[in-house]
Chains A and B, each alone.
Chain A
């Protein structure tokens, strides 16, 4: 019988808590690849320490898979070295570009959902998967603008990409919700368009309402609407690993863990009892 597979992001602020190797209620950690690719210092020691006790996913922010200037070869080789060293169970990055090679904006920038972009990304995914010798996952990103001359809806673009490139999707439900509100579509249309066999991982996080738009900040608890999306998805995809991201105003590890374990409760609601430790706080307001 499957069990809920709930992880949290490994962040430097939690190193002192995690270093004595305490018992935790999460089953895996996700590490930002770039934080460990170019260091032989303490961060890498911490990642190796965590890896002794948990499965680890490597999640990148700089692959720039949609860049028309191509994939940086030094990036790819450094990533491959880290993958060989850590042996992660998932390697992922974002469906975006991050800037030009000489003018890197270090952001997850929007792509037009066109045939041209699709073909370019499929070529790049092939390059990356060949170099790494394994499948990668690509994550849908939050956007604050879009290009009108699109050939595809975002969800159809993602499906086509997964089907033709052989990559899988890291479905970020917060980003899905943010885009649904910013670009005025029904998030359940997006969600139901994605077959579960292409979903390799789920991300949960909190956004910030800027008044004019929703902004993906990873600075708050997961919103009830996003939990609802999660509930709908996990009901039909019980084996997909789930990760809670929190990158700004990061709480203490036990509070982070507690937020992440709400996902386990929702999983249990749909799929029955588990061995997961109970948590003391209510799960989420709109779910009953």
Chain B
């Protein structure tokens, strides 16, 4: 048999490691290796194939801990295996693996009674992203006090600020991950949820918002001035009251998520 080039060897080896078990290993590769110990050639390659599955399943499980908990071990391992055999990892960083896992769950809908699973996964990915984002220096309350009365103001936010919304109360599920539960009554998760995710002193915090607050913040984060954000929100929520706006700006002050104010038109 002709000697394999390094590139040929690496491509055949990758194929062998990424295949599902029912697909046989390429005979050229099998003939081009000497197994270690008392392993057969197939078994030696299987060490790497199963190692790949275990490693990526663990990495996925570190990010999607609550999905794993809700699905249970057997279902989670099956889902993870299906996912990693169809979506290769293209990043050098193992913890990047799984960005499309929420979409995979949304497409598959693996459990007829767990409609929230894809959204729970989406929340866990957001949480992971926020965890790794840089800290920021918050505006002082005094600085905010001086400027917040102007409607032309545009607000700058810390890089770790994220908004999350879902038709399901996934944060409530996430909070009880790892606990012993015999069932998840629908009442615990079948409510829409609007969340502000942010970081302070390297801790990730999650704060509940109501729907109008969420929309105002969404506009502010997109670069709208305060006046623009309020008038856009009023169109969707004609009953938007002063109390909601006051509460939201109190939240902005308390959470320390603002980093700057500009008075540009």
Contact = CB atoms under 8 A, between A and B. Distances in A.
Interface stretch (A97-105, A218-226, A233-241, A274-282): A97-105
Contacts of B88: 102-104
Contacts of B43: 212
A68 B10 contact: yes
A183 B97 CA distance: 33
Contact of B34 (A38, A114, A145, A181): A145
Contact of B36 (A66, A97, A143): A143
Contact of A34 (B18, B93, B132, B199): B93
B236 interface: no
A68 B52 contact: no
A6 B149 CA distance: 60
B34 A147 contact: yes
Nearest to A148: B34
Interface stretch (B1-9, B75-83, B221-229): B1-9
Contact of B9 (A74, A98, A112): A112
B10 A97 contact: yes
Contacts, number: 135
A40 interface: yes
- Which of B91, B93, B131 has the most chain A CB atoms inside 10 A of its CB? B93
B132 A39 contact: yes
A72 B132 contact: no
A144 B35 contact: yes
Pairs A-B, 7 closest by C-beta atoms: A213-B37, A182-B36, A40-B134, A145-B44, A39-B132, A68-B7, A62-B92
28 contacts: A37-B93, A38-B93, A38-B95, A38-B132, A67-B10, A97-B10, A100-B10, A102-B88, A102-B90, A103-B14, A103-B18, A103-B89, A103-B90, A104-B88, A106-B52, A106-B56, A106-B89, A106-B94, A111-B6, A114-B6, A144-B35, A145-B44, A145-B47, A147-B4, A147-B9, A149-B3, A179-B36, A182-B36
Interface of A: 34, 37-42, 45, 62, 64, 66-68, 72, 74-75, 97-107, 109, 111-112, 114, 116-117, 120, 143-149, 179, 181-183, 210, 212-215
